[in-house]
Amino acid sequence: MNKIVKDFEIYLKEEKKLSNNTLESYGRDLRQFSEYLIDKNKSSFTEVNKTTIITYLLYLQKKGRATSTISRSLASIRSLYLYLLNNGEIENDPTLNLESPKSEKKLPCILSLSEVESLINQPDDNSSMGSRDKAMLELLYATGIRVSELVRLNIDDLNLDLDFIKCNGNNRERVIPIGSMAKKAVKRYSTEYRNQLVKDDEQALFVNYYGKRLTRQGFWKIIKRYTKQAKIDKKITPHTLRHSFATHLIQNGADLKSVQEMLGHSDISTTQIYMQLTKNKIKDVYNKSHPRA
């Protein structure tokens, strides 16, 4: 079974062009499924039927796995069996008509505009580190890019003459406009302070104290510190500015398709969660403002 999983991973990487994170998820799910099958005295994926898979999903449920985890596991197993079916290694797909467990989507935490401004204003941009931090926070809120994409940015990905950045995420390049405030902060950092930090021939736009590319973990520590300084009583993650970016755009009239493109979502249903946040905001305003609410 290990060989089939490895061949499947190669197929996903070379044919489907999936990201490394997605490949790791598929591999992890299928190896766990393989271990379960071996424990049940099954030596091949071809020995599996629909009952086997349902029993496995119930097993995951009893183990306390989240509904989202179980749904993802089923999606991984479904993809494997479609691959085996297309390759003629099985005649019937045991996952056919199996439904994923329904999960209630948790709405992400977002910041109000005043909280965003308070957070972004925390760094002292008269120092190299403060200027870097302010530029990162401004850029995250201005573009909605992921933190992983932020730290992967190189100096050549900036085009401050035409006011955009090039961003690579999920094996797709996006060109995202940046606003005047973000441009000002990034320009100041990149022209006045970056050279004080960078070492050797480092191409990264944002670097750490040692002049090397900043990591996601490094940024996580930075945003936690400024959240505390700003006295924002919310559980902020590096993704919070991305969520706030999308929600504020939609609240101010941006169409869903444009927001989807800027966020780099392959499926618009992922972007639609921000519509729910906007509806909740309107409902709150109504309840507080209408005399007969």
CATH number of residue 174's parent domain: 1.10.443.10
Report the distance separating Cα 197 and Cα 76, nearest Å: 43
Nearest C-alpha neighbor of 134 from the set 119, 118, 120: 120
pTM: 0.59
Task: Out of 40, 67, 86, pick the residue that ends a domain.
Answer: 86
User: In the prediction, which pLDDT does 293 show?
Assistant: 41
Residue 44: give the domain boundaries.
2-86
Domain match, 194 and 68 both: no
177 phi and psi angles, rounded to 5 deg: -70, 150
Is 104 within the bounds of a domain? no
Task: Out of 48, 67, 86, pick the residue that ends a domain.
Answer: 86
User: In the prediction, which pLDDT does 290 show?
Assistant: 43
User: In the prediction, which pLDDT does 187 show?
Assistant: 95
Least confident of 17-26, 115-124, 185-194, 282-291: 282-291
Higher-confidence residue: 29 or 97? 29
User: In the prediction, which pLDDT does 239 show?
Assistant: 84
Q: Domain of 44: which CATH number?
A: 1.10.150.130
Domain match, 21 and 129 both: no
175 phi and psi angles, rounded to 5 deg: -110, 120
Domain match, 220 and 130 both: yes
Domain match, 6 and 150 both: no
Q: Are strands 164-169 and 158-159 parallel, antiparallel or unpaired?
A: antiparallel
Report the domain count for the chain.
2
Domain match, 200 and 159 both: yes
Is 292 within the bounds of a domain? no
Is 62 within the bounds of a domain? yes
Model pLDDT for residues 218-242, shown as the tens digit of each residue? 999 999 999 999 999 988 887 888 8
Is 105 within the bounds of a domain? no
Is 43 within the bounds of a domain? yes
Is 293 within the bounds of a domain? no
Task: Out of 86, 105, 132, pick the residue that ends a domain.
Answer: 86
Domain match, 136 and 234 both: yes
Calculate mean pLDDT across residues 131-157.
93
Domain match, 148 and 56 both: no
User: Do 48 and 37 touch, CB atoms closer than 8 A?
Assistant: yes
Domain match, 253 and 170 both: yes
User: Do 87 and 201 touch, CB atoms closer than 8 A?
Assistant: no
Is 122 within the bounds of a domain? yes
Statement: residue 203 has pLDDT above 80: yes
Residues 6+ apart with CB under 8 A from 66: 103
Is 231 within the bounds of a domain? yes
User: To the nearest whole number, what is the mean pLDDT of the chain?
Assistant: 86
Domain match, 119 and 78 both: no
Report the distance separating Cα 180 and Cα 222, nearest Å: 23
Report the distance separating Cα 90 and Cα 83, nearest Å: 9
Domain match, 82 and 119 both: no
Calculate mean pLDDT across residues 187-207.
93
Statement: residue 68 has pLDDT above 90: no
Model pLDDT for residues 254-293, shown as the tens digit of each residue? 887 887 878 877 777 667 767 766 655 544 543 554 454 4
Domain match, 142 and 15 both: no
Domain match, 35 and 150 both: no
Statement: residue 171 has pLDDT above 90: no
Q: Are strands 164-169 and 172-177 parallel, antiparallel or unpaired?
A: antiparallel
User: Do 153 and 168 touch, CB atoms closer than 8 A?
Assistant: no
Nearest C-alpha neighbor of 58 from the set 49, 67, 46, 47: 67
3-state secondary structure string, the chain?
CHHHHHHHHHHHHHCCCCCHHHHHHHHHHHHHHHHHHHHCCCCCHHHCCHHHHHHHHHHHHHCCCCHHHHHHHHHHHHHHHHHHHHCCCCCCCCCCCCCCCCCCCCCCCCCCHHHHHHHHCCCCCCCHHHHHHHHHHHHHHHHCCCHHHHHHCEHHHEECCCCEEEEEECCEEEEEECCHHHHHHHHHHHHHHHHHHCCCCCCECCECCCCCECCHHHHHHHHHHHHHHHCCCCCCCCCHHHHHHHHHHHHCCCCHHHHHHHHCCCCHHHHCHHHHHHHHHHHHHHHHHCCCC
pLDDT bucket at 13, cuts 50 / 70 / 90: confident
